[in-house]
Amino acid sequence: MAPFCGLGRDADLGLYPPTMDLITTTEDLAAACTRLAAAPFIAVDTEFMREQTFWPRLCLIQIASADTEILIDSMAPEIDLKPFFDLMVDEGVLKVFHSGRQDIEIVHHLAGVIPHPFFDSQVAAMVCGFGEAVSYSMLVKRLLGHNLDKSSRFTDWSRRPLSDRQLTYAIGDVTYLRDLYPKLKAQLDQSERASWLNEEMRVLTNPATYELHPENAWRRLKMRIKTPKALAVLMELAAWREREAQSQDVPRSRILKDEALYDIAGQTPRSAEDLGSLRSLHNGFARSTRGQAVLDAVSAGLERDPATVPPLKRGEPMPPEAQAVVDLLRVLLKATAGRHGVAPKLIATSDDLEQIARSDEADVAVLHGWRRELFGADALALKRGELALVIGKDGVTVLAPDAASAAADKPKDNA
Cα 241 from Cα 259, distance rounded (Å): 13
379-384 contacts, C-beta under 8 A, 24 or more apart: 379/329, 379/332, 379/333, 379/348, 379/353, 380/356, 382/328, 382/329, 382/332, 383/325, 383/328, 383/329, 383/356, 383/357, 384/360
**158 shares a domain with 41:** yes
Q: Which domain holds residue 223?
A: 214-308
The dihedral formed by the CA atoms of 307, 309, 315 and 318, expressed in degrees to the nearest 10 = 20
In Å, what is the CA distance from 284 to each residue of 141, 179, 277, 279, 291? 54, 57, 11, 12, 9
Indicate if 66 and 35 belong to the same structural domain. Answer: yes
pTM for this one? 0.84
Band of residue 349 on the pLDDT scale cut at 50, 70, 90 = very high
CB-based contacts of 128: which residues, under 8 Å, 6+ apart?
184, 187, 188, 191, 193, 341, 342
Instruction: Answer whether residue 72 is part of any domain.
Output: yes
Under 8 Å between Cβ of 74 and 58: yes
- Whether residue 281 is found in the same domain as residue 294: yes
Same domain? For 40 and 57 the reply is yes
Looking at the fold, whether 88 and 219 belong to one and the same domain comes out as no
Instruction: Please report, as a single letter, which amino acid is at residue 249.
Output: D
**Same structural domain, 205 and 220:** no
Any idea what the CATH number is for the domain that residue 301 is in?
1.10.150.80
The pLDDT confidence band at residue 133, using thresholds 50, 70 and 90, is: low
Residue 10 sits in a domain whose CATH number is 3.30.420.10
Q: How far apart are CA 79 and CA 27, in angstroms?
A: 8
Q: Is the pLDDT of residue 20 over 90?
A: no
Please say if the pLDDT value at position 89 is more than 60. Answer: yes
| Alpha-carbon span 236 to 411, nearest angstrom | 65
Measured from the Cβ of residue 210, the count of other Cβ atoms closer than 10 Å reads 17
Does residue 81 form part of some domain? yes
Pair 142, 235 in one domain: no
Output the domain CATH number for residue 367.
Answer: 1.10.150
Classify burial at 151, counting beta carbons within 10 Å of its beta carbon; exposed 0-12, middle 13-18, buried 19 or more. Answer: exposed
315 domain residue, yes or no: no
Do 57 and 199 lie in one domain? The reply is yes
The pLDDT of residue 313? 65
